[in-house]
Amino acid sequence: MKLTPIETGLFKLDGGAMFGVVPKTLWSRVQPADPDNLCTWSMRCLLIQTGERTILVDTGIGNKQGERFQKHFQPHGDDTLTHSLHQAGVTPEEITDVFLTHLHFDHVGGAVVYTSEGQLVPAFPNATYWSNKRHWNWAMNPNPREQASFLKENFVPLLEAGVVSFLELNPEGPTEWLPGIRIHQVHGHTEAMMLLEIDDDKGSTFLYCADLIPSSFHISMPWIMAYDVRPLETLREKEYFLTKACDENWHLIFEHDPHTPSASLMRDSRGRIIQKI
């Protein structure tokens, strides 16, 4: 099992939205904002190569949105999904599976591309795209709070192309998807988001945190995004996974941290879980 971070570029989001109730005087020390109160974030996908399958986890923001969208989120940087896959020695045609943690635009935007004729088609023509019905239905009928995050042009063409497969998930615990890969459902950020727990060939365990713990800045329990639809549920979910990761020496993979791709955890002198130094 080989794991490779896939950098797809940077974008900007409002600092207050990313840190919720945490005062700016605190979060700006670790993640400074620009004059418009925007902070820069990564969109870090993950490549999993098992020998038999080449799996891409999430797809970044893509490049098909219009000028208004571009101005609002300011995607930038030298990295792109295709270029980073090329750097990893993989072509889009070689991807066998695309695992979508959830369908917010910054996680699924690169799943679909325009053809020269202006048609929206799967970006990975030989891949099965994985989601779950509970989250898919949530995205198809969004609440007003999340409506701007679910852009149907990012995922409806996948269903129309017949490449979506829905996972049957255990509601009471992790679901074994493939040997060494387990799926966890969480519901604080959005309904039925999926996290991957992965065992590599060296005996280490990794958790791809998606938007439950989007960055190393969010390890502290109260640091929860204002985007989350159920922040108290996020708090419970964070406590569970951070405790487990600390006690069992897991490595966390952060999708949005602009500086720290992954980290392991420890307890400080007061018993709080912090990033291992």
For the chain, the domain total comes to: 1
pLDDT at 140: 98
- How far is it, in rounded angstroms, from Cα 193 to Cα 131? 9
Identify whether the C-beta of residue 253 lies closer than 8 Å to the C-beta of residue 7.
Answer: no
Q: Which domain holds residue 27?
A: 2-275
pLDDT at 132: 98
* 118-168 residue pLDDT tens: 999 999 999 999 999 999 999 999 999 999 999 999 999 999 999 999 999
Give residue for tokens 């986890």.
57
| Domain CATH code at residue 208 | 3.60.15.10
175: Cβ contacts below 8 Å, ≥ 6 apart: 167, 168, 169, 182, 183, 184
Q: Which of 266, 211, 165 shows the shortest CA–CA distance to 41?
A: 211
Q: Which of 52, 208, 56 shows the shortest CA–CA distance to 124?
A: 56
pLDDT at 80: 97
Helix (H, G, I), strand (E, B), or coil: what is residue 85?
Answer: helix
pLDDT at 175: 97
Q: Give me 224's structure tokens.
A: 């929860």
Torsion, Cα of 153, 188, 261, 111 (10° steps): -10
**pLDDT per position in the chain (277 positions), as tens?**
999 999 999 999 999 999 999 999 999 999 999 999 999 999 999 999 999 999 999 999 999 999 999 999 999 999 999 999 999 999 999 999 999 999 999 999 999 999 999 999 999 999 999 999 999 999 999 999 999 999 999 999 999 999 999 999 998 899 999 999 999 999 999 999 999 999 998 899 999 999 999 999 999 999 999 999 999 999 999 999 999 999 999 999 999 999 999 999 999 999 999 999 7
Residues above pLDDT 90, as percent of the chain: 98
Do strands 164-166 and 128-131 pair parallel, antiparallel, or not at all (unpaired)?
parallel
pTM of the complete model beyond 0.95: yes
